[in-house]
Structure 1
Amino acid sequence: MKKPLELIGFIALLQGALGLVHQFTHWHVGLVQRLGFLDGYELYASLALVVLAFALFALAEAQDS
C-alpha cells in the first residue's frame, strides 16, 4: 500500500506545484486551471493539493513494509 500512496502523493504534489506556477507566471500548465468548477479558486485548490501530497507522503511513511 506504500507505493500507491507515494504515487498519488507525487501526482498531487506535481499538479499543485504546476497550479501555483500557473497562478504566479500565467504559464498554461497543470490540470487545476482547466477544471471549470474551480474558477476563482485555483490558488486554494493548488495549495490544498500540496498539503494533501504531504499528508499522503506521511501516511505512506507510517505504513508497515
Structure 2
Amino acid sequence: MKTLLGILCFILLSQGVGGLLHEWTDGWFDLWSLVARVSFFDGYEVYVCAVLIVAGLAMGAATGASKEGDA
C-alpha cells in the first residue's frame, strides 16, 4: 500500500509541476503535462496544476503517516 501511495504521490506532483512549467515557459515541457492536452481545462490549467500539487503533497503526507508494517 505504501508503494502505491508513493507512486500516486510522484505522478500527481510531476503532473502538477510539469503543467506549471508548461504554462510558464510557453509550452517547452510538452511531454510532462497531461493537463495541457485536455481541452476541458482550457483557461484553468494553472489552477488544476496547483490542485494536483496539493493533492500530491497530501498523498505524500498520507504515505508518511501510514503504518510502518504495511508493505
With the length of structure 2 as denominator, give the TM-score of the two structures: 0.86
4+ residue segments displaced more than 2 Å: none
Cα separation, 2, equivalents of 1:59 and 1:9 = 9
Cα separation, 2, equivalents of 1:62 and 1:54 = 12
1:42 Cα shift?
Answer: 0.3
* Unmatched 5+ stretches in structure 2: none
Question: Which letter maps to 1:12?
Answer: L
Question: Which letter maps to 1:21?
Answer: L
Identical aligned residues as a percent: 42
The yes-or-no answer on 1:32 pairing with 2:62 is: no
Match of 1:42 in 2: 45
Q: Which has the larger radius of gyration?
A: 2
Count residues in correspondence.
65
Cα separation, 2, equivalents of 1:10 and 1:62 = 16
* Unmatched 5+ stretches in structure 1: none
Higher helix share: 1
The yes-or-no answer on 1:14 pairing with 2:14 is: yes
1:24 Cα shift?
Answer: 0.5
Question: Which letter maps to 1:31?
Answer: L
Q: CA RMSD in A?
A: 0.8
